[in-house]
Amino acid sequence: MFQKKICLLGPSGVGKTSLVKQFVEGIFSEKYLTTIGVKIDKKLVDLAVDQVQLMIWDLEGIDRYCGFQPKYLRGASAYAIVTDHTRSQSLVEAMEIHRMVREVSDIPAILIINKSDLDVAWHWTESELNGYSKEFIRSFSTSAKTGDQVEEMFKFIAQLTLN
Amino acid sequence: MADCPNSKVPSEDEVAMQQLRELILGKNQEFVKQVIQDNAREMVSEVVIEAIHDRQNHNDEFSKILTPVVQKSVETSVKQQSEQFVGYLYPLVGRLVRKSVTSFLSEFLEKTNVLIENSLTFKGIKWRFKAWQSGVSFSQYVASQTFIFKVEQVLLIHRETGILLNSVSQSVHESADGDLVSAMLTAINDFVSDSFNPQQESPEQNLEVVKTEDFSLVIKRGPKLLLVAAVTGNIPQDISTKFQITNEYIHKLYAKEIANFNGDTMVFEPASQQLQDCLVAKMHPEALKKKNKKPIMAIGLVIILLIGFGFLGFHNYQQNQLVDQIAQIGQQPGIVTRNVERTGWQDIELSVLRDPDAIEVEKWLAEQHIDASKILLLEKQYLSLEASLIKTRLKTILAKYPQIEVDWQQKIPVLTGTLPNVQRLALATKIHAIPGLTYAEELISGIKAEELATINEDSPEILMALFEINKAKIDSTQVEFEKGQGALNEKAKDQLRAFASYLKTTIELSKKLELNVGLIIMGASDSSGSIKYNQSLSQKRALIVRQFLVEEGIEAQYLNAIGLGVVENAASGSGLRKVIFNIINFKTD
């Protein structure tokens, strides 16, 4: 069994904590609680050949009030940038965070577009699609509320940490 | 390019060299090979150990090759010589088992003692109250009272990732989730070092101790690993140094594993040994004193329990013995045991069928020295046909006949002796009445009947019986007269002579019995002739019989003659020409 550290980053309120709660405990709450600093959870993921215990570092939402803390990324095997597809601004912020991370680390990254249960507010343009697909290994459209694609996404990350 | 053909066709020198080689080394170096082969054993034996060592150091292949061979050979040996293996292992296993049992017992005693001390003593109750008052768990309070300090848990954390590599703890159930604690601790440290860095140039700030009300986390930092100890109480400097040294030692020991760490924590399993050494504690001198004492409380409790169980067992054994003993009553003749069972702590219910002639249950119990007060007796009667009871009944009857001798030695008792006929008959009747007795006739045949004459010395009962028999004979005697005659014919005279002898005997008997008897001689006539004549004829007949009896020697005072006159006989219609008798016992009250 391997233990791997992964990080979830993204702007405030995109649903990072909810994704982890849905994955680890299988529950979703409409209540919004802002994360201070970092919240850590663990979950054992069964893969085809091996087991991985993910130590999921759910970092506080990064915005203009709260800067990015690169130390939290130390020793992580992969990270995920989370965005909210009902707020196009979140994508802009997410790409800024991604850029900041890339300055300190070159570990694999994936993009999560959360709240897929709600109405879509923006779409990739062709050029954006080409630009971002190079930046991320893969993107997922998830819903922390319904659980759609959440398990698949974390399993993918777990697999990614072993490569 | 010009050299090419030359390289294919050997030059003369080369051919000569080849020939020289073959001369010295032999064809295909066979001379050299031969020499090596001849000395192969010596050569290999000289270097074999070193070669294995080097190869093993180089990589693990030697072990891999050897392991299945060793496994196979051990398996074969065990299969073929299992007896010897058992022999080798037996003393070892025995010692192991003994050791483990001993340690289990001493641990059990220790734990029981602690439990009692903590629950039943004044101090224990006081501590419980104080723990409740200060809102901590009892065990924590006890620890704080008992130990100056105690290392509860030690965590080994990979510094960069915050992943827990190994952890050991004093108690399995109380340890916190090390994985999350480790990660959070790393995160907090990151937070602290980021937030409180006064100048960019100054070295990174790190946590060294995290202190709460109850415990402190002592963090010892190495280049790659953190060693974190959760400690209650105040930790002395030397222990703190010990943590640092342990961390350094682990760094040295696992340098390769740390460098190649990829999330696999299994390789750090053996570090438990070093971490265990950090789980130290120092007790209060008071508690220490107590620790050295023998677990008297527990030993006392165990002894009390043992005595209790022993007493219960002994009581149970005793009661069962008693039940068995009581059940023996079923072997007594005439007693059938229906049920014997324990009905309480001491009571026993005994249900039996008993023949009235059998031994009484209470008496039997007394003979066996059994306390009857603890026994609830349910008795029902029945008739037993057992031989011994039949004998008992026979004995009871024969006890009234002291003149009969009994020989009990035979299978069928033999009775000898003489009895007056009446008594013999009475005895016979009684013997026949004994249920289950099949040899009544044989018994009675041994008893001879006795003549009446020899009864003089008999008991009043027998005399009375004889008197009664004679009386009956007398009362039933009738003397016939010719028609119209008042004189006795010859037949009547003979009859009266025999009658006189009975009468004498009867009077004798009555004297012995002190009875006041008299004989009424009643004359009667038939209805032919006048009443007056018949009256005087009946009177005359009675008197003549009286006269005859006096002549036969009967004292006249016993004889009273009366004439009844005509006594009609409805059956014959002819009336009675007779004299009849009646012995009267004039009771002298």
- Cβ contacts of B214 within 8 Å, gap of 6 or more: B136, B140, B144, B232
Q: Which residue in the block uniquely carries the two structure tokens 């005693």?
A: B109
Rounded CA separation A81/A91 (Å): 10
- φ/ψ of B322, rounded to 5, equals -65, -45
Query: pLDDT of A95-109, one tens digit each?
Result: 889 988 999 988 999
Q: Which of A3, A52, A69 sits opposite B190 (nearest CB)?
A: A69
CA nearest to A112, candidates A89, A90, A134: A90
Rounded CA separation B43/B46 (Å): 5
> What is the pLDDT, as a whole number, of residue B22?
85
Asked if residue A109 lies in contact with residue A80, where contact means CB atoms within 8 angstroms, the answer is: yes
- Which of chain B's residues have a Cβ under 8 Å away from the Cβ of A37? 187-188, 191
- Which of chain B's residues have a Cβ under 8 Å away from the Cβ of A161? 263
Q: Strands A51-59, A2-9: parallel, antiparallel or unpaired by DSSP?
A: parallel
Q: Which residue in the block uniquely carries the two structure tokens 């649903």?
A: A15
Per the rule left: phi > 0, alpha: psi between -120 and 50, beta: everything else, B325 is alpha
- pLDDT tens, N- to C-terminus, chain B (589 residues): 444 444 556 788 889 988 888 888 888 888 888 888 888 888 888 888 888 888 877 777 788 888 889 999 988 888 888 888 888 887 788 888 888 888 888 788 777 777 777 776 777 788 888 888 887 777 777 777 777 788 888 999 998 888 999 999 887 655 667 888 888 888 888 888 877 766 666 677 788 888 887 788 899 988 889 999 988 887 888 888 889 999 998 988 888 888 888 888 888 888 888 898 888 888 777 666 655 566 777 888 889 999 999 999 999 998 888 888 888 888 888 888 888 888 878 888 888 888 888 888 888 888 888 888 888 888 888 888 888 888 888 888 888 888 888 887 777 788 888 877 777 888 888 888 888 777 877 777 778 776 655 545 667 778 888 888 888 888 888 888 888 788 888 888 888 888 888 888 888 888 888 888 889 999 988 877 788 888 888 899 899 999 999 998 888 888 898 988 887 776 665 667 888 899 888 776 5
- Cβ contacts of B26 within 8 Å, gap of 6 or more: B32, B33, B34
Q: Which helix (H) or strand (E) holds B286?
A: helix B285-292
- Which of chain A's residues have a Cβ under 8 Å away from the Cβ of B259? none
> What is the pLDDT, as a whole number, of residue B312?
93
Q: Cβ-count burial of B430 within 10 angstroms (0-12 exposed, 13-18 middle, 19+ buried)? A: middle
Tell me the residues of chain B between 20 and 79 that have a Cβ less than 8 Å away from chain A.
none
Across the interface, whether the CB atoms of A3 and B265 are under 8 A apart is answered yes
Across the interface, whether the CB atoms of A1 and B266 are under 8 A apart is answered yes
Helices (H), B436-587: 440-445, 460-475, 490-512, 531-551
- Which of chain A's residues have a Cβ under 8 Å away from the Cβ of B194? 69, 71
Asked if residue B474 lies in contact with residue B502, where contact means CB atoms within 8 angstroms, the answer is: yes
B513 has a chain A CB within 8 A of its CB: no
Rounded CA separation B332/B389 (Å): 10
**B488: Cα within 13 Å, side-chain hemisphere:** 20
B163 has a chain A CB within 8 A of its CB: yes
Q: Give this complex's ipTM.
A: 0.85
Rounded (to 5) percent helix, strand, coil in chain A: 35, 25, 40
Asked if residue B345 lies in contact with residue B371, where contact means CB atoms within 8 angstroms, the answer is: no
CA nearest to B370, candidates B413, B327, B407, B316: B327
Q: Which residue in the block uniquely carries the two structure tokens 């990254």?
A: A109
Tell me the residues of chain A between 34 and 63 that have a Cβ less than 8 Å away from chain B.
37-38, 40-42, 52-53, 55, 57
Q: How confident is the model at residue A78 (pLDDT cuts 50, 70, 90)?
A: very high
B475 has a chain A CB within 8 A of its CB: no
Please provide the DSSP assignment of B36-104 as one string.
HHHTHHHHHHHHHHHHHHHHHHH-THHHHHHHHHHHHHHHHHHHHTHHHHHHHHHHHHHHHHHHHHHHH
Across the interface, whether the CB atoms of B161 and A76 are under 8 A apart is answered yes
Rounded CA separation A87/B59 (Å): 57
A88 has a chain B CB within 8 A of its CB: no
